[in-house]
């Protein structure tokens, strides 16, 4: 069972949101797994997890099997570079882009060490957002818009911002539910 993609590098079937502030980061993900375009096969999938001695948090959007492969490769890179998030992310992105097997993976990663957020794609992209907010997946744009509005007009901690934005995304995106997994890391 995997989540579907729309064939235009837009990944369906999930929403992952990261909200960074001066205290650290919150990464939230929904739990819905869809088969094809219309069948919900799981409501409580865990798409956000801690890596590298619980010092890195990452979430995935895309094919579940592909995401597990990427988590394993990313964890290996984190071990190799002793938890250096940026270096591990760049090395994974290079390998992802050039490796014949990895190039076929249909997933994206959103990761943070509590000080920065990075988005990784199979195109070799490693992107750090300007505003400390990032989202991936089919409901990513909705969650990102909600998080930006909340940040600009409400004085809320990152966890509350992420949770509220994810609930808004779940109200709009049919591929996103409100069964959330939320991980918070303090800035170190």
Is 64 assigned a catalytic role? Answer: no
- Selecting among 14, 34, 64, 176, the annotated active-site residue is 14
Tens digits of per-residue pLDDT, 42-89? Answer: 899 999 999 999 999 999 988 777 888 888 999 999 999 999 999 999
Residue with tokens 């911002």: 161
pLDDT above 70 as % of the chain = 93
Question: Looking at the predicted structure, is the pLDDT value of residue 9 above 80?
Answer: no
* pLDDT of 176: 93
Q: What percent of the chain has pLDDT over 90?
A: 68
The pLDDT of residue 11: 42
**Is this model's pTM higher than 0.85 or not?**
yes
Gap between the Cα atoms of 62 and 156, Å rounded: 29
């Amino acid at each position: 069972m995997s989540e579907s993609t729309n064939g235009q590098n837009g990944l369906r079937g999930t929403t992952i949101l990261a909200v960074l502030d001066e205290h650290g980061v919150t990464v939230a993900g929904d739990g819905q797994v869809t088969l094809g375009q219309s069948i919900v096969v799981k409501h409580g999938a865990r798409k956000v997890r801690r890596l590298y001695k619980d010092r890195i948090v990452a979430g995935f959007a895309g094919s579940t099997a592909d995401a597990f492969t990427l988590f394993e490769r990313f964890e290996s890179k984190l071990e190799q570079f002793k938890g250096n998030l940026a270096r591990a992310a760049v090395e994974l992105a290079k390998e992802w882009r050039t490796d014949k097997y990895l190039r076929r993976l249909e997933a994206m990663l959103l990761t943070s060490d509590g000080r920065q957020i990075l988005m990784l794609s199979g195109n070799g992209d490693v992107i750090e957002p300007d505003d400390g907010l990032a989202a991936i997946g089919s409901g990513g744009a909705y969650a990102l818009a909600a998080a930006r509005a909340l940040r600009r007009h409400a004085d809320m901690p990152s966890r509350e911002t992420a949770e509220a934005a994810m609930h808004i995304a779940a109200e709009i995106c049919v591929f996103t539910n409100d069964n959330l997994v939320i991980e918070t890391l303090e800035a170190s």
